[in-house]
Amino acid sequence: MKIENITVSDWRDYERHDFSFNSHDGLIVLPKTPAEGNPWVWRAEFFSAFDTVDMDLLSKGWAIAYYSVSDMYGAPGAIALMKPFKDALVEKYSLSAKCAMFGFSRGGLYTVNYTAEYPEDIAVIYLDAPVCDIRSWPGNFGKGGGDDFCWKECKEHYGITDESAKTFSGNPLDKIEKLVADKIPCVLVAGLIDRLVPYCENGELFVKKYEELGGTIKTILKPDCDHHPHSLDDPTPISEFIIVHK
Protein backbone atom coordinates (compact mmCIF):
# COMPACT_ATOMS: atom_id res chain seq x y z
CA MET A 1 0.00 0.00 0.00
CA LYS A 2 1.35 3.42 -0.99
CA ILE A 3 0.56 7.01 -0.09
CA GLU A 4 -1.35 8.54 -2.98
CA ASN A 5 -3.88 11.29 -3.80
CA ILE A 6 -1.91 13.95 -1.95
CA THR A 7 -3.31 17.44 -1.49
CA VAL A 8 -0.64 20.12 -1.05
CA SER A 9 -1.31 23.33 0.87
CA ASP A 10 0.44 26.10 2.76
CA TRP A 11 0.39 25.66 6.55
CA ARG A 12 2.03 28.29 8.75
CA ASP A 13 4.35 29.06 5.84
CA TYR A 14 5.35 25.40 5.45
CA GLU A 15 4.35 22.88 2.82
CA ARG A 16 1.71 20.45 4.07
CA HIS A 17 0.63 17.23 2.39
CA ASP A 18 -2.74 15.67 3.30
CA PHE A 19 -3.80 12.22 2.15
CA SER A 20 -5.79 9.13 3.00
CA PHE A 21 -4.00 5.91 3.85
CA ASN A 22 -5.84 2.66 4.54
CA SER A 23 -9.10 4.64 5.03
CA HIS A 24 -7.59 6.94 7.67
CA ASP A 25 -6.43 10.53 7.22
CA GLY A 26 -2.75 11.33 7.38
CA LEU A 27 -0.54 14.33 6.85
CA ILE A 28 3.03 15.52 6.84
CA VAL A 29 4.44 19.04 7.15
CA LEU A 30 7.79 19.43 5.43
CA PRO A 31 10.65 21.63 6.64
CA LYS A 32 12.07 24.26 4.34
CA THR A 33 15.49 22.58 4.48
CA PRO A 34 15.63 19.04 5.88
CA ALA A 35 18.14 18.40 8.64
CA GLU A 36 20.82 15.79 8.11
CA GLY A 37 19.32 12.32 7.99
CA ASN A 38 15.77 13.60 7.35
CA PRO A 39 14.57 13.34 10.97
CA TRP A 40 10.89 13.58 11.76
CA VAL A 41 8.33 13.81 14.52
CA TRP A 42 5.32 11.53 14.67
CA ARG A 43 2.60 13.26 16.69
CA ALA A 44 0.47 10.38 17.95
CA GLU A 45 -2.54 12.55 18.79
CA PHE A 46 -3.80 16.13 18.75
CA PHE A 47 -1.85 17.46 15.79
CA SER A 48 -0.95 21.16 16.18
CA ALA A 49 -2.12 21.37 19.82
CA PHE A 50 0.41 22.95 22.20
CA ASP A 51 3.00 22.38 19.50
CA THR A 52 5.89 24.61 20.57
CA VAL A 53 8.30 21.66 20.36
CA ASP A 54 6.93 20.48 17.03
CA MET A 55 7.32 23.95 15.52
CA ASP A 56 10.80 24.40 16.97
CA LEU A 57 11.96 21.14 15.42
CA LEU A 58 10.19 21.96 12.13
CA SER A 59 12.19 25.19 11.98
CA LYS A 60 15.33 23.11 12.54
CA GLY A 61 14.63 20.81 9.59
CA TRP A 62 12.41 18.09 11.05
CA ALA A 63 9.24 16.95 9.30
CA ILE A 64 6.05 16.62 11.37
CA ALA A 65 3.63 13.76 10.66
CA TYR A 66 0.24 12.67 11.96
CA TYR A 67 -2.02 9.69 11.29
CA SER A 68 -5.58 9.78 12.55
CA VAL A 69 -6.49 6.63 14.43
CA SER A 70 -8.36 8.67 17.01
CA ASP A 71 -10.66 7.15 19.62
CA MET A 72 -8.81 3.81 19.53
CA TYR A 73 -6.83 4.51 22.72
CA GLY A 74 -3.60 2.90 21.54
CA ALA A 75 -5.23 -0.53 21.44
CA PRO A 76 -3.70 -3.35 19.35
CA GLY A 77 -5.99 -2.50 16.45
CA ALA A 78 -4.60 1.04 16.35
CA ILE A 79 -1.00 -0.17 16.48
CA ALA A 80 -1.68 -2.55 13.60
CA LEU A 81 -2.87 0.40 11.48
CA MET A 82 0.04 2.62 12.47
CA LYS A 83 2.85 0.31 11.39
CA PRO A 84 2.08 0.25 7.62
CA PHE A 85 1.53 4.02 7.72
CA LYS A 86 4.96 4.54 9.21
CA ASP A 87 6.64 2.30 6.66
CA ALA A 88 4.84 3.94 3.73
CA LEU A 89 5.63 7.45 4.99
CA VAL A 90 9.34 6.68 5.35
CA GLU A 91 9.45 5.25 1.84
CA LYS A 92 7.47 8.07 0.22
CA TYR A 93 9.37 10.95 1.79
CA SER A 94 12.80 9.33 2.31
CA LEU A 95 12.61 9.94 6.04
CA SER A 96 14.82 8.55 8.76
CA ALA A 97 13.90 4.96 9.63
CA LYS A 98 13.55 6.04 13.27
CA CYS A 99 11.41 8.95 14.40
CA ALA A 100 10.69 10.91 17.56
CA MET A 101 7.20 10.01 18.73
CA PHE A 102 5.14 12.50 20.74
CA GLY A 103 2.41 11.28 23.10
CA PHE A 104 0.21 14.02 24.55
CA SER A 105 -2.48 12.92 27.01
CA ARG A 106 -4.17 9.80 25.54
CA GLY A 107 -1.46 9.96 22.87
CA GLY A 108 0.77 8.41 25.52
CA LEU A 109 -1.13 5.15 25.01
CA TYR A 110 -0.33 5.11 21.30
CA THR A 111 3.26 6.19 21.77
CA VAL A 112 4.29 3.70 24.43
CA ASN A 113 2.34 0.80 23.00
CA TYR A 114 3.70 1.37 19.49
CA THR A 115 7.26 1.78 20.74
CA ALA A 116 7.07 -1.40 22.80
CA GLU A 117 5.85 -3.28 19.73
CA TYR A 118 8.20 -1.70 17.17
CA PRO A 119 11.25 -0.28 19.00
CA GLU A 120 13.25 -0.37 15.77
CA ASP A 121 11.03 2.44 14.47
CA ILE A 122 11.48 4.86 17.37
CA ALA A 123 14.57 6.85 18.36
CA VAL A 124 13.11 8.82 21.28
CA ILE A 125 9.72 9.47 22.86
CA TYR A 126 8.26 12.64 24.33
CA LEU A 127 5.33 12.13 26.71
CA ASP A 128 3.30 15.10 27.90
CA ALA A 129 0.72 14.64 30.69
CA PRO A 130 0.45 11.10 29.35
CA VAL A 131 -2.20 8.53 30.09
CA CYS A 132 -0.17 5.58 31.37
CA ASP A 133 -3.03 3.51 32.79
CA ILE A 134 -6.46 3.28 31.16
CA ARG A 135 -7.95 2.56 34.57
CA SER A 136 -6.94 6.06 35.68
CA TRP A 137 -8.30 7.63 32.49
CA PRO A 138 -10.76 7.08 30.96
CA GLY A 139 -11.69 4.33 33.43
CA ASN A 140 -12.05 6.49 36.55
CA PHE A 141 -10.75 3.75 38.86
CA GLY A 142 -8.61 6.30 40.70
CA LYS A 143 -8.46 9.98 41.59
CA GLY A 144 -9.28 11.51 38.22
CA GLY A 145 -12.66 12.27 36.74
CA GLY A 146 -12.58 9.65 34.01
CA ASP A 147 -14.92 9.76 31.03
CA ASP A 148 -17.83 7.34 30.73
CA PHE A 149 -18.20 7.61 26.96
CA CYS A 150 -14.47 7.25 26.30
CA TRP A 151 -14.26 4.36 28.75
CA LYS A 152 -16.98 2.52 26.86
CA GLU A 153 -15.07 3.01 23.60
CA CYS A 154 -11.80 2.07 25.22
CA LYS A 155 -13.16 -1.19 26.64
CA GLU A 156 -14.55 -2.15 23.24
CA HIS A 157 -11.20 -1.59 21.52
CA TYR A 158 -9.28 -3.56 24.13
CA GLY A 159 -11.92 -6.26 24.52
CA ILE A 160 -12.17 -5.84 28.27
CA THR A 161 -14.87 -5.27 30.88
CA ASP A 162 -14.98 -3.31 34.12
CA GLU A 163 -14.12 -6.51 35.95
CA SER A 164 -11.30 -7.72 33.69
CA ALA A 165 -9.85 -4.19 33.62
CA LYS A 166 -8.84 -4.70 37.23
CA THR A 167 -6.17 -7.19 36.15
CA PHE A 168 -5.47 -5.68 32.71
CA SER A 169 -1.76 -5.79 31.87
CA GLY A 170 -1.55 -3.95 28.55
CA ASN A 171 -0.96 -0.44 29.86
CA PRO A 172 2.10 1.74 29.21
CA LEU A 173 3.06 1.10 32.83
CA ASP A 174 3.36 -2.57 31.87
CA LYS A 175 5.65 -1.82 28.90
CA ILE A 176 8.43 0.07 30.69
CA GLU A 177 10.74 -2.90 31.12
CA LYS A 178 10.57 -3.50 27.35
CA LEU A 179 11.29 0.16 26.54
CA VAL A 180 14.26 0.28 28.90
CA ALA A 181 15.63 -2.99 27.55
CA ASP A 182 15.37 -1.55 24.04
CA LYS A 183 17.21 1.60 25.21
CA ILE A 184 14.42 4.04 24.31
CA PRO A 185 15.18 7.50 25.75
CA CYS A 186 12.20 9.45 27.06
CA VAL A 187 11.42 13.02 28.05
CA LEU A 188 8.29 13.40 30.16
CA VAL A 189 6.53 16.69 30.97
CA ALA A 190 3.59 16.90 33.36
CA GLY A 191 1.63 19.19 35.64
CA LEU A 192 1.49 18.28 39.30
CA ILE A 193 -2.12 19.36 39.78
CA ASP A 194 -3.49 17.46 36.78
CA ARG A 195 -7.08 16.60 37.71
CA LEU A 196 -7.94 14.72 34.52
CA VAL A 197 -4.91 12.43 34.25
CA PRO A 198 -3.45 12.53 37.77
CA TYR A 199 0.34 12.54 37.73
CA CYS A 200 0.49 10.24 40.78
CA GLU A 201 -1.35 7.49 38.85
CA ASN A 202 0.35 7.97 35.51
CA GLY A 203 3.54 9.90 34.82
CA GLU A 204 4.96 9.57 38.32
CA LEU A 205 4.75 5.77 38.25
CA PHE A 206 6.20 5.71 34.75
CA VAL A 207 9.18 7.87 35.70
CA LYS A 208 9.85 5.96 38.91
CA LYS A 209 10.01 2.60 37.19
CA TYR A 210 12.03 3.95 34.25
CA GLU A 211 14.61 5.31 36.66
CA GLU A 212 14.63 2.15 38.80
CA LEU A 213 15.37 0.06 35.72
CA GLY A 214 18.18 2.39 34.65
CA GLY A 215 16.44 3.88 31.62
CA THR A 216 17.30 7.25 30.11
CA ILE A 217 14.56 9.67 31.11
CA LYS A 218 14.36 13.43 31.56
CA THR A 219 11.48 14.70 33.68
CA ILE A 220 10.11 18.25 33.61
CA LEU A 221 7.42 18.96 36.18
CA LYS A 222 5.18 22.03 36.35
CA PRO A 223 4.07 22.51 40.01
CA ASP A 224 1.04 24.73 39.33
CA CYS A 225 -0.15 23.18 36.06
CA ASP A 226 -3.33 21.18 35.50
CA HIS A 227 -3.76 18.87 32.48
CA HIS A 228 -3.59 21.96 30.23
CA PRO A 229 -1.59 23.72 29.01
CA HIS A 230 0.69 21.03 27.66
CA SER A 231 4.36 21.44 26.81
CA LEU A 232 6.52 24.52 27.58
CA ASP A 233 6.45 28.06 26.27
CA ASP A 234 10.20 27.71 25.72
CA PRO A 235 10.62 24.32 23.99
CA THR A 236 14.41 24.32 24.23
CA PRO A 237 14.85 21.77 27.08
CA ILE A 238 12.61 19.28 25.28
CA SER A 239 13.91 19.94 21.77
CA GLU A 240 17.52 19.61 22.88
CA PHE A 241 16.86 16.24 24.47
CA ILE A 242 15.13 15.00 21.32
CA ILE A 243 17.88 16.23 19.00
CA VAL A 244 20.60 14.61 21.10
CA HIS A 245 18.80 11.27 20.99
CA LYS A 246 17.61 11.28 17.40
The 10s digit of each residue's pLDDT in 43-67 is: 999 999 999 999 999 999 999 999 9
> In the chain, where are the structural domains located?
29-244
pLDDT over 90 at 145, yes or no: no
Q: pTM value?
A: 0.96
How distant, in Å, are the alpha carbons of 58, 116, 124 from that of 245?
A: 16, 17, 6
pLDDT over 90 at 144, yes or no: no
- Tell me what percent of the chain is helix, strand and coil, each rounded to the nearest 5: 35, 25, 40
pLDDT over 90 at 174, yes or no: yes
Q: What is the pLDDT of residue 2?
A: 86
Q: What is the pLDDT of residue 4?
A: 85
CA dist 72 and 2 (Å) reads 23
Domain 29-244 fold: Rossmann fold (3.40.50)
